[in-house]
């Protein structure tokens, strides 16, 4: 997008944003296709938004018994969350359970904000951190379906800085590491499966990542486009040879920069136009509009005595973060999104439906099947593998928790989690806001209670 178009988009944003509407990517479309007056562009934009709102139907709600659940067993989830929020394990939480595309259970427990005594509501907005990865992975597959790329392509075809990457190899006889050439170029598929060798700035070579000020997953305070950060990453040593190990880190942030390069839009705009707007995801953002700040769940941790304490304000992984007041320029595809349980459930239901929700077709069923298949053999172990953006269950016994072979999901650094079970036609979204060293076993218990409540197919 040219500087002229970007300026026009910014002026439109400032001039016609209504606090009750989501005005995001259509600015780019209006700016690039028209050069009329601002008033004319505003009329066009409002018409598009009105049409989109009319087609975004809410998911139906059904009686749990009609969906094959034992209602009183399903209510054990609420009792668990009430217990955990009253005893100080959690400040608050929201859970949504879908079956066959309908809401069968929804619960908000505890507080959105303890200091103001504001109770949690189901429309609370949460920092979903690494749950952003699934969304950006879908964006990459959209581009493959557009014919704009192949996931077998080398990343350097689109991001030239990755033409000469390196790998840090620990020395076996002395301290330190050697920097060597990769055995092959990193592909887009390597990034999707977290087998590109890109960590979060630790391990051998971590000193160079620290000097470059690129460590940890938190990017919201960065005053530079993600592409500039990613290009600097390419010059730092990675942790493993491409394809050799599962290494969790910046892979999806690199994919976000790739989406920008291939699409010609910033990541924020592309996700809105191709995923959020068609799916009716009304409250999913990288940075929160001012009218929604009052719905943002506060982050808490635990002190040395195990008491809940409010995380400090300001930037950083263990703070409230600058999701409301940051520069609004660094769109972290790996960990930057905020969302609601309702929005994320719509996204996952689209996946469970084979790439469609209502009239919106995001992906083909074939692409969804590819994304939710294991691509990495037994690199993860423990009965699970990894697809294109999702962890996939391969063996019930080895995994050791209730579920089905083929269920898939992931979680986020603020103690959020989700999973999709195609065999049971089930979607579960669970959001909290916790950054703590104190272990909390709510994720495992939630999974156990959901499956214990299933009575029939």
Query: Picking from 7-21, 186-200, 291-305, which range would have the lowest pLDDT averaged per residue?
Result: 7-21
Tell me the DSSP string of 58-107. PPPB--GGGGTB-HHHHHHHHHHHHHHHHTTS-SEEEEEEEETTEEEEEE
Residue 34 is predicted with a pLDDT of: 30
Q: How far apart are CA 17 and CA 449, in angstroms?
A: 43
In sequence order, the β-bridge partners of residue 429 are: 96, 418
- Going by C-alpha positions, the residue among 176, 225, 233, 181 that lies closest to residue 205 is 176
377: left (phi over 0), alpha (psi -120 to 50) or beta: left
* Helical (H) or strand (E) element with 93: strand 92-99
Query: Picking from 124-128, 171-175, 239-243, 363-367, which range would have the lowest pLDDT averaged per residue?
Result: 171-175
Q: What is the pLDDT of residues 388-405, one digit of tens each?
A: 999 999 999 999 999 999
Q: How far apart are CA 96 and CA 428, in angstroms?
A: 6
Query: Picking from 20-29, 404-413, 430-439, which range would have the lowest pLDDT averaged per residue?
Result: 20-29
- pLDDT(105) > 80: yes
- pLDDT(348) > 60: yes
- pLDDT(4) > 70: no
Question: How confident is residue 12, by pLDDT bands cut at 50, 70 and 90?
Answer: very low
Residues in the chain: 457
- pLDDT(247) > 80: yes
- pLDDT(18) > 70: no
Residue 8 is predicted with a pLDDT of: 34
Residue 45 is predicted with a pLDDT of: 44
Mean pLDDT of 344-359: 98
Residue 46 is predicted with a pLDDT of: 45
Residue 326 is predicted with a pLDDT of: 92
Top-confidence residue, 185 or 43: 185
Q: What is the pLDDT of residues 354-379, one digit of tens each?
A: 999 999 999 999 999 999 999 999 99
Q: How far apart are CA 342 and CA 71, in angstroms?
A: 21
Residue 19 is predicted with a pLDDT of: 31
- How far is Cα of residue 22 from the mean position of the Cα atoms in its chain? 19
Residue 217 is predicted with a pLDDT of: 96
- Going by C-alpha positions, the residue among 236, 233, 137, 235 that lies closest to residue 190 is 137
Question: What are the structure tokens assigned to 156, written together?
Answer: 């350097």
Question: What are the structure tokens assigned to 185, written together?
Answer: 């170029």
Residue 56 is predicted with a pLDDT of: 67
Question: How confident is residue 457, by pLDDT bands cut at 50, 70 and 90?
Answer: confident
Contacts of 439 (CB under 8 A, 6+ apart): none
Q: How far apart are CA 20 and CA 48, in angstroms?
A: 15
Q: How far apart are CA 8 and CA 28, in angstroms?
A: 9
CA distances from 315 to 11, 296, 311, 318 (A): 28, 16, 11, 8
Top-confidence residue, 2 or 207: 207
- pLDDT(203) > 80: yes
- Going by C-alpha positions, the residue among 156, 184, 189, 178 that lies closest to residue 241 is 184
Question: What are the structure tokens assigned to 375, written together?
Answer: 């691509």
- pLDDT(146) > 80: yes
Burial tier of 21 (Cβ tally within 10 Å: 0-12, 13-18, 19+): middle
DSSP state of 154: B
Question: What are the structure tokens assigned to 437, written together?
Answer: 């060293």
Q: What is the pLDDT of residues 151-168, one digit of tens each?
A: 999 999 999 999 999 999
Residue 324 is predicted with a pLDDT of: 96
- Going by C-alpha positions, the residue among 313, 371, 308, 369 that lies closest to residue 134 is 371
DSSP state of 454: B
Query: Picking from 23-27, 151-155, 430-434, which range would have the lowest pLDDT averaged per residue?
Result: 23-27
The 10 Å Cβ neighbour count of residue 185 is 16
Residue 456 is predicted with a pLDDT of: 81
Residue 167 is predicted with a pLDDT of: 98
């Amino acid at each position: 997008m040219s500087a002229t178009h970007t300026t026009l988009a910014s002026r439109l944003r400032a001039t016609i944003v209504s606090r009750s509407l989501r005005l995001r990517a259509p600015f780019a479309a209006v700016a690039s296709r028209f050069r009329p007056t601002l008033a004319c562009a505003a009329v066009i934009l409002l018409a598009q938004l009105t049409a989109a709102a009319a087609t975004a139907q809410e998911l139906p709600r059904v009686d749990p018994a009609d969906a094959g659940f034992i209602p009183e067993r399903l209510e054990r989830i609420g009792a668990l969350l009430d217990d955990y929020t009253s005893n100080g394990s959690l400040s608050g939480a929201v859970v949504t359970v879908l079956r066959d595309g309908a809401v069968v259970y929804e619960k908000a427990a505890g507080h959105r904000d303890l200091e103001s005594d504001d109770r949690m509501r189901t429309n609370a907005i949460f920092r979903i951190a690494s749950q952003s990865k699934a969304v950006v992975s879908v964006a990459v597959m959209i581009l493959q379906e557009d014919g704009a790329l192949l996931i077998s392509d080398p990343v350097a075809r689109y991001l030239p800085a990755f033409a000469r990457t390196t790998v840090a190899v620990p020395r076996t006889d002395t301290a330190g590491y050697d920097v060597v050439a990769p055995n092959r170029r990193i592909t887009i598929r390597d990034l999707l499966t977290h087998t590109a060798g890109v960590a979060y700035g630790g391990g051998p070579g971590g000193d160079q990542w620290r000097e470059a000020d690129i460590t940890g997953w938190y990017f919201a305070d960065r005053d530079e486009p993600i592409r500039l950060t990613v290009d600097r990453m390419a010059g730092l040593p990675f942790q493993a040879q491409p394809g050799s190990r599962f290494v969790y880190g910046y892979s999806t942030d690199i994919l976000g920069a790739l989406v920008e390069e291939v699409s010609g839009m910033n990541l924020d705009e592309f996700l809105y136009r191709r995923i959020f707007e068609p799916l009716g995801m009304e409250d999913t953002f990288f940075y929160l509009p001012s009218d929604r700040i009052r719905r943002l769940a506060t982050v808490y941790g635990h002190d040395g005595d195990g008491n809940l304490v409010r995380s400090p304000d300001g930037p950083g992984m263990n703070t409230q973060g600058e999701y409301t007041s940051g520069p609004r320029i660094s769109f972290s595809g790996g960990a930057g999104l905020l969302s609601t349980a309702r929005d994320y459930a719509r996204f996952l239901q689209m996946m469970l439906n084979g790439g469609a929700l209502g009239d919106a077709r995001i992906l083909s069923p074939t692409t969804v099947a590819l994304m939710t298949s294991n691509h990495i053999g037994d690199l993860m172990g423990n009965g699970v593998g990894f697809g294109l953006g999702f962890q996939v269950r391969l063996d019930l016994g080895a995994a050791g928790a209730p579920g089905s072979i083929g269920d898939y999901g992931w979680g986020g650094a603020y103690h959020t989690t989700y999973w999709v079970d195609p065999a049971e036609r089930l979607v579960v979204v669970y959001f909290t806001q916790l950054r703590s060293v104190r272990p909390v076993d709510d994720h495992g218990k939630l999974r156990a209670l959901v499956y214990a409540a299933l009575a029939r197919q």
